[in-house]
Amino acid sequence: MGKFEVKEDFYLNDQPFKVISGSIHYFRVVPEYWRDRLEKLKNMGCNTVETYVPWNMHEPKEGEYCFTGRFDIRKFIQTAHEVGLYVIVRPAPYICAEWEFGGLPYWLLKDPRIKIRFNNPIYMEKVKKYFEHLLPQFVDLQIDNNGPIIMMQVENEYGGYANDLSYMRAIARLMLENGVTVPLVTSDGPWGDMLENGSIPELALPTVNCGSKIEQHFERLRDFHGKELPLMVMEFWVGWFDAWGDEAHHTTDAHEAAKELKAILDRGHVNIYMFHGGTNFGFTNGANYYEKLAPDVTSYDYDALLTEWGDTTKKYDLFKEVIQSYGPIEEMPLSTEIKKKDYGKLTVQDKVSLFSVIDEISQPVESNYPLSMEELDQAFGYVYYKSSIGKAREIEDFRLIGCMDRAHVFVNNELEFIKYDLDIEDKESFTLTAPENDLGILVENMGRVNYSVKMNHQHKGIRDGVVVNGAFQSDWTHYSLPLDDVSQIDFSKSYQAGTPAFYSFTFEVDEKGDTFLDFEGWGKGVAFINGFNLGRFWEMGPQKRLYIPAPLLNEGTNEIIIFETDGKVNDSISLVSEPSL
């Protein structure tokens, strides 16, 4: 039996142990590449891998659990063990992680009595049921059962959200009651009241998250401990994430980051965030909201030590040099052959308007007032709202009330305008010219906010209503469009330029390789490869290409489907061997 202890330092099997860890999120990497990324972590000199655990992927609908494929956390931990790495697990319920709603499931928003991330009895009962399914997936893989798990974290950066320590203690107790035996930790920023707000030192070792000024932050942590305890940066930020509309991909200086790493290891322990970022596949990106909405791009490259597509970087080499000074590195041969391929230009083969197929891909729901995405029991994607607004006349006061995040407004299937975030409730006017007129509104969930106080207000779609000439419009038909099955789209139906539409491409593959979808000339939407949702694209950048890992391809025929919402399209796309970051 193994043993990992927290004393004045960390001890592994009664010997002092320096934790040198890197973050890899299994859910942001195709499973076929887990081993490759873990081997590269090991070869850089790390002895541990850390991962978050996203509740919303493991319990996508309340009471329905998923621990397979990209969400097979047990297999990821076992693979890390096979590679020779220890594991730190951060099992939620909240993870932040620039992930949709910080990893919380959307269905928590359906009950107004729930107060997320507080010691609220209804919320805690949901967490309890989830932990009863999640923790048995890996508690037998803890080190005292000869497994690789050496630590687990209680919640995440709670001191930056609230100071309900009864909640933190309740989460810790749930973990202990469900078989957690390894040391518990918390992680918070070292600024202001964050350590005081989020730490439960009687149950868990406090650690800090930061990207610079290590000496200063370690002194703050030492003072907070008040006694000799291990100093650890649980998130050593070596890069940053990108939001749509940012001027460029965020990068940090590799040499400065390496100096900070040395400062950490001279006095304590580290988890590098991120060692490998991966991809926000599908609609899983989170968002921030301060002065305005800032939804994250599909890439979670993070300027990490491995790129989004798994290449080592200058930062990787410099970190390896630092780590070598603390002990020899035993390298292992890489077991996964990864190639990059250019499959060339693909021309649109079929196209069909959303309005032509909407009744086939979505079941209409009738209501005399608009229903939010959560009321429609929908997690991600789009909702199309439709209502008859009557005879020809001037509409002098049109407003969307309680609408998030981006809306296309149509009259008789013709686009009137697009509304987004800060201007979404602004008054508009237009003229109805037909004898009878249909109003249509396509609303996109751009990603629920994953950090800070706006998390309490993340209902998507239209929550309050639509004002037409000063009064709320009634009698609505709703079409949920999570787009979780694009195989049912009938491309034989009609196409109308300038409207939201689906576009189909096919190509042949003799040899599978990683490739990058260049969407130059396209406006905004989402792309699918062989039915798998690759994620969002948007002409505003900074991301200009979508990463397609080779395991998502078929030898033989492959199909790409693009759903474009803004009517800005090209007659082709390209699959190239070079990324755009």
Output the domain CATH number for residue 443: 2.60.120.260
Domain edge (last residue) among 256, 289, 324: 324
Co-location of 420 and 271 in the same domain: no
Token pair for 364: 């209409």
Co-location of 497 and 406 in the same domain: no
Please give the C-alpha separations between residue 256 and each of 20, 185, 318, 536, in angstroms, as whole numbers: 18, 28, 10, 33
* Structural domain count, the chain: 3
Domain edge (last residue) among 474, 501, 530: 474
Residue 1: what pLDDT? Answer: 82
Co-location of 121 and 54 in the same domain: yes
Residue 8 per-residue DSSP state: S
Whether 366 sits among the annotated catalytic residues: the reply is no
Instruction: Note down the domain range covering 163.
Output: 4-324
- CB-count exposure of residue 202 (10 Å: 0-12, 13-18, 19+): exposed
Which residue of the set 155, 235, 308, 444 is catalytic?
Answer: 235
Asked whether the beta carbons of 251 and 303 are under 8 A apart, the reply is yes
Taking 70 as the pLDDT cut, the residues of the chain under it are 581
Instruction: With respect to residue 357, please indicate whether it lies within any of the assigned structural domains.
Output: no
Question: How many helices and strands in the chain, by DSSP H and E?
Answer: 10, 32
Whether 414 sits among the annotated catalytic residues: the reply is no
Residue 581: what pLDDT? Answer: 64
Q: Residue written as tokens 């309900």?
A: 164
Co-location of 246 and 384 in the same domain: no
- CB-count exposure of residue 483 (10 Å: 0-12, 13-18, 19+): buried
For residues 345 and 152, what is the distance between their CA atoms, to the nearest angstrom? 47
Co-location of 53 and 125 in the same domain: yes
Counting every residue written for the chain, the total comes to: 581
Domain edge (last residue) among 415, 441, 474: 474
For residues 415 and 465, what is the distance between their CA atoms, to the nearest angstrom? 20
Chain centroid offset of residue 256 CA: 27
Instruction: With respect to residue 34, please indicate whether it lies within any of the assigned structural domains.
Output: yes
Which residue of the set 100, 155, 157, 564 is catalytic?
Answer: 157
Instruction: With respect to residue 444, please indicate whether it lies within any of the assigned structural domains.
Output: yes
Residue 580: what pLDDT? Answer: 82
Instruction: With respect to residue 335, please indicate whether it lies within any of the assigned structural domains.
Output: no
